[in-house]
Amino acid sequence: MKNPHLPPQLATAMRQAVVLEYWNLFWSGTIILAMGLVLGQSQTMKTAWIEDTLGLVPPIMFLISAQVEQRGRGSKRFPFGFHRVNSLGFFVAAVALATVGGVLLCDAAIALLAAEHPTVASVVLFGHEVWLGWLMIAAQVYSLIPPMIIGRKELPLAETLNDKLLHTDALMNKANWLTGAAGLFGVIGLGSGWWWADSLAAGIISLDIINDGIKALRSSTAELIDGAPRALSSPELSDDALALRRRVQSEFPEADVRLRETGRLIHVEVHGVHSPLENRHPGHYWPSGDERSWRVAQVSFVPPADKKNSEDPSAQ
Amino acid sequence: MTGLVLLCGCDGFPRDPGETSQRVVREKAFRVAFVAPEISGEAPVSRLIRQLEKATGARSEVVPGSGEALLARLQSGEVDVVVGRFQAGSPWASEISMGPALSASGAPENRLELKAAMRNGENRWIMQVERASRVVGGGEVR
């Protein structure tokens, strides 16, 4: 299907990303099922299970926004189209992560302070008695594998598409080994008689969830309130945008150059000067090469407010 | 990580934070109490106690008392097993660990299950009592 908003050179990467996110949902579903079957009373397992369930939010939001981005054309009610659906999805994912991370951290702290001793009993499996902890460890080890592979595949696609939602998902997946290791420590510690290991591991995992959430929240909020374009992996200003700003500023030194981001695209406003006489494609202003010049969606010029002090180029 | 998991495969895993199992082996005794005095004479309960004695090589010591006060003593580690009749939605369900039912009575909506209760988190000891309860309840496992 032809995408009215997506630059044509990104169509292949977008298709691959959509397929990968469907696989992500499938494998995450198997992990959630496996972890859910062996939760027991362990706070670690509960926290890891909720984290895995929350991990569905970014891929679901990515698929929804990709769908809307593909089908949604501008209308009377939405004349600028749906470029920002991706940003909205990113914001929703960030709020979910930060909130649930906070709740889980409170849970873990209360369990630790109350010195709760979690029970991990036995189950009968095919006529054999098995300590549930072994099944928890198996589920935790399994939960490490698919995200690691998917995260590695997502990262280059997120960079090609300059997609923050996909990038957040890739980083969350890649970092999953850390929470998996914390989860294993929790269950093994519990089996070793260290009752506190379970709550401590749950606390570490929730801190990681909060960290992911806050980083994503800072970036997504900046975009939604027309902040300058942020880097993919941090709330810092993006190198691309800084270079673009320098490039435009060098051509219009007296102008006030403002950049904002809608989804993966950058809009440039050049205040205080008239537009050049010749027609230029927005990509003309891209500082280096043509490969990523699709990121410049629009360059608008806002003439000086005081006409007496400005020189109208059309009068020349 | 694999090494860590293998390390845990050694005998004695899981361990009890309150060392109930270790103490039972060391002192060759465990402390049992009954929520109601008449329970002690019931056949499944006697079989459970005998099964536990056989499995641990320890003798049972009956702790006097009745009612919920015993469950509080179980939580503090003064008693190792409390046997009683509990409802499915008992408010104690999250405060203590209950083993599989030895027998059941009453209508389905008010079903009372005769079962053993252990202190939360004493996972090795809980498994020991669960195993004995399954043998008495008819679901012998390997």
Span A146-185, pLDDT tens digits = 998 999 999 999 999 988 888 888 877 877 777 788 888 8
Asked if A124 and A197 sit in the same domain, the reply is yes
- B74-115 pLDDT per residue, tens: 999 999 999 999 887 777 877 899 999 998 888 877 888 999
Give the nearest chain A residue to B12 (CA atoms): A192
Domain of A186 in residue numbering reads as 8-224
A229 is a domain residue: no
Of the residues A224, A251, A273, which one is the last residue of a structural domain?
A: A224
State the ipTM, two decimals: 0.83
Asked if A67 and A166 sit in the same domain, the reply is yes
B15-137 maps to which CATH number?
3.40.190.10
A1 is a domain residue: no
For residue A83, give the nearest of A171, A167, A165, A153 by alpha carbon.
A165
Asked if A287 and A207 sit in the same domain, the reply is no
Give the nearest chain B residue to A133 (CA atoms): B14
Asked if A147 and A218 sit in the same domain, the reply is yes
What pLDDT, on the 0 to 100 scale, is given for residue A265?
A: 86
Asked if A217 and A69 sit in the same domain, the reply is yes
Of the residues A163, A189, A224, which one is the last residue of a structural domain?
A: A224
Asked if A301 and A156 sit in the same domain, the reply is no
How far is the first Cα of chain B from the last one, in angstroms, to the nearest whole number? 29
Please count the structural domains in chain A. 2
Which residues lie closer than 8 Å to A297 by C-beta, 6 or more apart?
Answer: A83, A262, A265, A266, A267, A282
What pLDDT, on the 0 to 100 scale, is given for residue A1?
A: 41
Asked if A81 and A195 sit in the same domain, the reply is yes
Neighbours of A298 (CB within 10 A): 11
Could you give the percent of chain B with pLDDT greater than 90?
Answer: 57
Distance from the Cα of B60 to chain A's closest Cα (Å) equals 22
Low-confidence ranges of chain A (pLDDT < 50): 1-3, 310, 314-316
What pLDDT, on the 0 to 100 scale, is given for residue A233?
A: 76
Asked if A201 and A257 sit in the same domain, the reply is no
Asked if A44 and A167 sit in the same domain, the reply is yes
Asked if A102 and A163 sit in the same domain, the reply is yes
What pLDDT, on the 0 to 100 scale, is given for residue B6?
A: 52
Asked if A210 and A247 sit in the same domain, the reply is no
Distance from the Cα of B16 to chain A's closest Cα (Å) equals 5
Task: Please state, in angstroms and rounded to a whole number, the distance separating the CA atoms of residues A287 and B3.
Answer: 52
Asked if A22 and A58 sit in the same domain, the reply is yes
A121 is a domain residue: yes
Q: What is the CATH number of the domain that holds A102?
A: 1.20.1510
Q: Chain A contact for B126, CB < 8 A?
A: yes
Q: Select the residue of A119, A124, A128 nearest B97 (Cβ to Cβ).
A: A119
